[in-house]
């Protein structure tokens, strides 16, 4: 970095940190919930309504697919804020993402330098899949991945210090928390990572030590303690069977050998796509001397090993969504960025990387312009935002070539500005044109029509969890299932394809997101 560039470096970082606020929070609650968001939300809402924090339910029926810790977190946000909006539902995930970036920075800066740590943290936050999708959703995975990655770091630090008592205690405590958040994946990460780390540090005999037994006891105490409480609430032997089913249904057990074999080849390019634009740094993996330079840094070698031993679980799982790998994505980005800063600005591969970035920005410029003039945007002022983005594209193309020393920081500013433009232009258009907006409005209308009356859901009704959430939220009442439908004054929801019952009066018909099925709201005369 030249002195002129270094002089303003603090300013560049301040701009980045300021841009993160509108990039991550602007219009966060604009779009209606999607299925998995609504699942987390309805479980938390029913906990609040019923007062039962131990046994999760949906429609008043026990829900065992996930343990309840994330629902407790979301319930806390409900109660602290006093509302149940989409913005509040998504807030824990965004906070987790920010904390995740902070964790990457603090851990990596200890073993490399602050600049590599900062760009690695920001690179993770601005990777395509996260910046333009998962950071906008109220899902469990960013919070879960944050804790799993924290466990990676703690295992390394305490194994290096040979403080095995603290290592086992903390790692199994975090494993218990992550299990109570998402179930069996926490056990896989704990087992694979811990065994690998102890072998790496030539301390595998510690697996048979008292500190390890103490760590296991910590895990059993918290996880077993919760399930003991749950058993007292609802004696049922299906808890772990359901959790196991949730974890194995995405593997060859469900999809067979052929689909699994095909997935082995499609999985790597899919992950590189999700990591764009930072996966373009993969070019440095093929540089001569890359692997020897990796060995020089004990911490980076450990992270690379952790990635190698954990990735096969998802590589052979046909239905592996990108969000399942968020604890592993930072490792690749850290390795990418570290290698980038080990090279000179005029290195051939550095030039290849920035040429690829410039080409990608140019394509984005053309695609964005074409999208605007082809699409009938309702909000006319968005043309100003588009012009701003176009100007930034051209400006970035110039700056990246002229000021290589601060190119990464300027590129991150560019990505955050694109996200802000996305928030201001694309999200309102999606909200205006999406069928989910119609489904939400119709669910709210159902809640309005049934104010101060009991409403019952027929058990065979194909209703989406989003519709259930919005009806329940507006009424602050659990939408329970029942096949009894004779009480005068009560409202009932049926599949519109079902034949009308005797003395049934249809009040309102509406659509639900589940296969866009039509439902009817009825009373009995």
The model's pLDDT over 430-475, given as tens digits with 9 standing for 90+, comes to 888 888 999 999 999 999 999 989 999 998 899 999 999 999 999 9
pLDDT (mean) for 359-372 = 70
Domain boundary among 340, 375, 399: 340
Does 398 sit behind a cis peptide bond, omega within 30 degrees of 0 on the bond before it? no
Residue 517 lies in domain = 437-524
Per-residue pLDDT, 324 = 92
Dihedral sign, Cα of residue 380, residue 381, residue 385, residue 387:
positive
Return the pLDDT at 482.
Answer: 87
φ, ψ dihedrals at 272, nearest 5°: -65, -35
Residue 362 confidence class, pLDDT cut points 50, 70, 90: confident
Answer whether residue 145 is part of any domain. Answer: yes
Q: Domain for residue 198, yes or no? A: yes
Q: Do both 69 and 149 map to the same domain?
A: yes
Arithmetic mean of pLDDT, 19-42: 95
| DSSP-derived pairing of the beta strands 57-58 and 61-62 | antiparallel
Number of domains in the chain: 3
Of 399, 433, 467, the residue at which a domain comes to its end is 433
How many angstroms separate the CA atoms of 468 and 450, rounded?
Answer: 14
Are 326 and 444 in the same domain?
no
Cα separation of the two ends of the chain: 79
Q: How many CA atoms lie within 13 A of 166 on its CB side?
A: 10
* Least confident residue range of 132-136, 372-376, 409-413, 496-500: 372-376
299 with 321, same domain: the answer is yes
User: In the prediction, which pLDDT does 349 show?
Assistant: 75
The more confidently predicted of residues 503 and 405 is 503
Together in a domain, 465 and 408: no
Q: What is the pLDDT of residues 74-103, one digit of tens each?
A: 999 999 999 999 999 999 999 999 999 999
Report yes or no on 276 lying in a domain: yes
pLDDT higher than threshold 70 for residue 49? yes
pLDDT: which is higher, 363 or 24: 24
Question: Is 308 inside any structural domain?
Answer: yes
Alpha helices in 316-406 (DSSP H): 329-340, 348-374, 382-402
What does the alpha-carbon distance between residue 33 and residue 469 come to, in Å, rounded to a whole number? Answer: 9
Write down the pLDDT at residue 4. Answer: 43
Residue reference for tokens 């407790």: 72
- 433, 448, 481: which is the final residue of a domain? 433
Domain membership flag for residue 354 = no
* 3-state secondary structure (DSSP) of residue 517: coil
Pair (450, 413) in one structural domain: no
Same-domain check for residues 160 and 261: yes
Let me know whether 110 and 255 are in one domain: yes
The residue-averaged pLDDT of 466-487 equals 90
Are 415 and 361 in contact by the 8 Å Cβ rule? The answer is no
Q: Is 135 a residue whose pLDDT tops 80?
A: yes
Same domain, 224 and 111: yes
Would you give the distance in Å from CA 272 to the centre of its chain? 17
CA gap 98, 142 in Å, rounded: 10
- Determine, yes or no, domain membership for 112: yes
Which residues contact residue 367 at a Cβ distance below 8 angstroms, ignoring those fewer than 6 apart? Answer: none
Residue 345, pLDDT > 70, answer no
Domain membership of residue 41 (yes or no) is no
Q: Are 222 and 173 in contact (CB under 8 A)?
A: yes
Quote the pLDDT of residue 2.
47
pLDDT value at 133 more than 90: yes
Question: Can you count the helices (H) and strands (E) in the chain?
Answer: 21, 6
CA distance 57 to 73: 16
pTM here is 0.91
Q: Which two tokens stand for residue 118?
A: 């900062």
Q: At what angle do helices 435-449 and 465-475 cross, to 10 degrees?
A: 40
What pLDDT digit, counting tens, does each position of 249-290 carry?
555 555 567 677 787 888 889 999 899 889 888 887 777 767
pLDDT at 477: 94
139 to each of 33, 86, 100, 471, how far by Cα in Å?
10, 12, 15, 20
189 pLDDT above the threshold of 80: yes
| Per-residue pLDDT at 514 | 85
Number of other residues whose CB lies within 10 A of the CB of residue 507: 14
Kindly state the average pLDDT of the residues 361-373. 68
What is the phi-psi region of residue 469: left when phi exceeds 0, alpha when psi lies from -120 to 50, beta otherwise? alpha
- Among the listed residues 143, 213, 215, 211, the one whose alpha carbon sits nearest the alpha carbon of residue 173: 215
Tell me, yes or no, whether 335 and 384 share the same domain.
no
DSSP state of 498: S
Q: Are strands 455-457 and 491-495 parallel, antiparallel or unpaired?
A: parallel
Shared domain check, 467 and 375? no
Q: To the nearest whole number, what is the mean pLDDT of the chain? A: 87
What pLDDT, on the 0 to 100 scale, is given for residue 319? Answer: 73
Name the band, by pLDDT with cuts 50, 70 and 90, for residue 301.
very high
Strand partners, 3: none
For residues 498 and 511, give the distance between their C-alpha atoms in angstroms, rounded to a whole number: 14
Same domain, 319 and 231: yes
**In a domain? residue 107:** yes
CB 192 within 8 A of CB 309: yes
pLDDT band at 339; cut points 50, 70, 90? confident
Half-sphere exposure of 282 (CA within 13 A, CB side): 11
Question: What is the rounded average pLDDT of the residues 144-172?
Answer: 96
Looking at the structure, do residues 288 and 367 belong to the same domain, yes or no? no
Which segment of 14-18, 375-379, 469-473 scores lowest on mean pLDDT? Answer: 375-379
More confident residue, 221 or 284: 221
**Is it the case that residue 293 has pLDDT exceeding 50?**
yes
């Amino acid at each position: 970095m030249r002195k002129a560039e270094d002089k303003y470096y603090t300013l560049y970082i301040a701009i980045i940190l300021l841009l993160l606020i509108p990039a991550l929070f602007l219009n966060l609650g604009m779009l209606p919930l999607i299925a998995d968001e609504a699942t987390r939300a309805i479980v938390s809402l029913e906990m609040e309504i019923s007062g039962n924090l131990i046994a999760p339910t949906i429609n008043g029926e026990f829900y065992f697919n996930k343990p309840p810790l994330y629902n407790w977190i979301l319930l806390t946000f409900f109660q602290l804020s006093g509302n149940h909006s989409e913005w509040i539902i998504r807030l824990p995930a965004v906070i987790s993402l920010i904390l995740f970036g902070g964790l990457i920075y603090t851990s990596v800066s200890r073993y490399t330098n602050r600049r590599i740590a900062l760009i690695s943290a920001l690179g993770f936050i601005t990777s395509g899949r996260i910046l333009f999708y998962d950071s906008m959703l109220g899902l469990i995975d960013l919070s879960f991945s944050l804790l799993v990655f924290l466990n990676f770091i703690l295992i390394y630090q305490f194994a290096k210090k040979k403080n095995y008592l603290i290592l086992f205690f903390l790692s199994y405590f975090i494993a218990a928390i992550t299990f109570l958040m998402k179930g069996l994946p926490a056990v896989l990460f704990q087992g694979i990572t811990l065994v690998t780390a102890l072998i790496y540090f030539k301390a595998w005999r510690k697996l048979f030590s008292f500190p390890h037994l103490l760590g296991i006891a910590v895990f059993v105490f918290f996880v077993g303690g919760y399930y003991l409480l749950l058993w007292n609430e609802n004696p049922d032997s299906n808890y772990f069977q359901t959790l196991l089913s949730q974890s194995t249904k995405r593997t060859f057990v469900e999809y067979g050998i052929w689909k699994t074999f095909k997935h082995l080849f499609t999985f790597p390019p899919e992950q590189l796509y999700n990591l764009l634009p930072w996966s373009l740094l993969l070019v440095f993996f093929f540089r001569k001397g890359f692997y020897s330079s990796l060995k020089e840094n004990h911490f980076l070698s450990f992270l690379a090993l952790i990635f190698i031993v954990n990735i096969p679980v998802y590589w052979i799982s046909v239905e592996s969504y990108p969000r399942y790998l968020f604890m592993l994505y930072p490792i690749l980005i850290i390795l990418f960025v570290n290698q980038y800063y080990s090279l000179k600005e005029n290195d051939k591969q550095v030039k290849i990387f920035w040429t690829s970035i410039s080409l990608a920005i140019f394509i984005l410029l053309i695609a964005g312009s074409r999208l605007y003039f082809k699409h009938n945007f309702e909000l006319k002022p968005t043309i100003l935002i588009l012009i701003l983005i176009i100007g930034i594209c051209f400006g970035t193309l110039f700056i990246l070539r002229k000021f290589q020393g601060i190119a990464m920081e300027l590129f991150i500013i560019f990505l955050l500005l694109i996200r802000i433009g996305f928030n201001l232009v694309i999200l309102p258009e999606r909200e205006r044109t999406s069928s989910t907006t119609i489904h939400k409005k119709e669910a709210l209308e159902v809640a309005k029509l049934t104010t101060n009356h009991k409403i019952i859901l027929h058990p065979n009704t194909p209703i989406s969890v989003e519709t259930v959430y919005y009806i329940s939220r507006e009424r602050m009442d659990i939408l329970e299932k029942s096949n009894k439908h004779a009480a005068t004054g009560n409202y009932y929801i049926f599949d519109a394809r079902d034949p009308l019952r005797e003395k049934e009066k249809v009040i309102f018909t509406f659509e639900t997101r589940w296969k866009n099925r039509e439902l009817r709201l009825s009373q009995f005369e």
